[in-house]
Amino acid sequence: MFIGFFYTLRKKKVPVSVTEWMTLLEAMDRGCINNLDEFYYLARSILVKSEGHFDHYDLAFQEYFNGIISESEDISDQIREWLRESLAFRKIFDENPELFDKMTLEEVMKELEKRLAEQKEQHDGGSRWIGRGGTSPFGHSGYHPNGIRIGGESGGRHAIKIAQERHFRNYSSDLTLDTRQMKVALRRLRQLTRTGPEDELDLDKTIHATAKNVGDLELIWRRSRKNTVKLLLLMDVGGSMDPYALLCSRLFSAAHSSSHFKDFQYYFFHNCIYEDLFADIERSEKVGTEHLLHTLEPDYKVIIVGDARMGSWELVEPYGAIDYYHNNPTPGIVWLKRFSEHFTRSVWLNPDDLKYWNHATVKAISRLFPMYQLTIDGLEQSVKKLVVKR
């Protein structure tokens, strides 16, 4: 049933598994839905694993189920004329539920062919002919759970309308993130390791030991699991990054408010990293970059945020920093290479649109750090990169 919908979802890049599809079929077999509106929500709850796919689901639903609205060339101009005006929707179902015999889509299509061949005049109301109102499966302005609308506007449920309105565009995975989505992605950095004193009861081993002692209680203790992840966040601020200030603020807020890091440190820079980083966004409190590299262990996970676009001299030449008062005898590319070599896991998040990545300095930096766009997909991909050793 609806196997074409399964493949339409796959085509729209909604990762539907066979197990989930079978679960949906089982739910339908148990009578969990009565109309297309309910099917829309049931299928979405079972088949869609991430809100980032809600919009793709709507597109697939609209494409597939709009197919049951007949615009066939076999519909004559005469029949279209009969159906030109709409009638008021009639809620006959509540009074005559026995009229609505369930048919498969194949059966409905065969019945439509028969009606097209047999019908000779306009019909409104009733339960058989192509018309308006009533309970016929064919026409519009009426109601039938297995009907095919021909012309007019839907007079029943609104699953197709829901899909067409595209409520979930903001959840699309190629759009930028909000703070909550960032927190969810960063939480995947967690690496739980048993460390410290044995202060947690091991229930399974306690039961096993007590059973061996023929009921005499023996408590077995173990070390508790704690997150060992240490995160270093470096953010480009000012200049060309000003349009992304809100987005970067959300990322900083998500990381700063997360309680699952063993250690979290953050610093700021402008355009490129040189001899000094800054502990505040106004760049007034300096921290020596060399000191940072000597004090932070290589197992820190490093996220660098910036558009990576600058004058080539800012990246590759001594004293090339754009700040007039900033003298950098060591080129920025050298400092970036030191970060890349010192830390075993590091990524670069670029908030710029991909069309702007065809730039000399962006290309040079992307050869040092895996670069991802600052979107839902990009952040998830970068997190995966950080949790896998190079």
Domain boundaries, the chain: 3-68+162-171, 77-150, 198-226, 228-387
- Across the range 59-65, mean pLDDT stands at 83
**pLDDT one-digit tens code per residue, 6-27:** 888 888 888 888 889 889 888 8
CA 302 to CA 231: how far, in whole Å?
6
At residue 93's C-alpha, the angle toward residues 63 and 160, to 5°, is: 15
Question: Is the per-residue pLDDT at 57 higher than 50?
Answer: yes
Question: Is the per-residue pLDDT at 69 higher than 70?
Answer: no
**pLDDT one-digit tens code per residue, 291-302:** 999 999 998 999
Higher pLDDT, 287 or 190: 287
- Across the range 154-162, mean pLDDT stands at 51
Question: Is the per-residue pLDDT at 369 higher than 90?
Answer: yes
Nearest to 267 by CA among 229, 303, 309, 307: 303
Higher pLDDT, 105 or 378: 378
Structural class in CATH, domain 228-387: alpha beta
Pairing of the two strands 200-201 and 221-222: antiparallel
Higher pLDDT, 62 or 278: 278
* Residue 146 exposure: Cα atoms within 13 Å on the Cβ side: 15
Higher pLDDT, 143 or 10: 10
Looking at the DSSP bridge assignments, the partners of residue 348 are 304, 371
Q: Which long-range contacts (CB under 8 A, 24 or more apart) does 384-389 make?
A: 384/188, 385/345, 385/347, 386/189, 386/301, 386/303, 386/345, 386/346, 386/347, 387/188, 387/189, 387/191, 387/345, 388/345, 389/344, 389/345
Question: Is the per-residue pLDDT at 133 higher than 50?
Answer: yes
Confidence band of 93 (pLDDT split at 50, 70, 90): very low
- Across the range 82-96, mean pLDDT stands at 46
* Contact in structure between 302 and 234 (CB atoms under 8 Å): yes
pLDDT at 28: 86
CA 360 to CA 74: how far, in whole Å?
59
Range among 102-111, 172-181, 323-332 rated most confident: 323-332
pLDDT at 370: 95
CA dihedral defined by 46, 52, 53, 58, rounded to 10 degrees? 100
Range among 192-206, 210-224, 263-277 rated most confident: 263-277
pLDDT at 118: 66
Confidence band of 175 (pLDDT split at 50, 70, 90): very low
* Contact in structure between 130 and 139 (CB atoms under 8 Å): yes
Mean pLDDT of the chain: 76
Of 157-171, 188-202, 243-257, 297-311, where does mean pLDDT reach its minimum? 157-171
- Across the range 321-341, mean pLDDT stands at 89
Nearest to 307 by CA among 266, 345, 363: 363
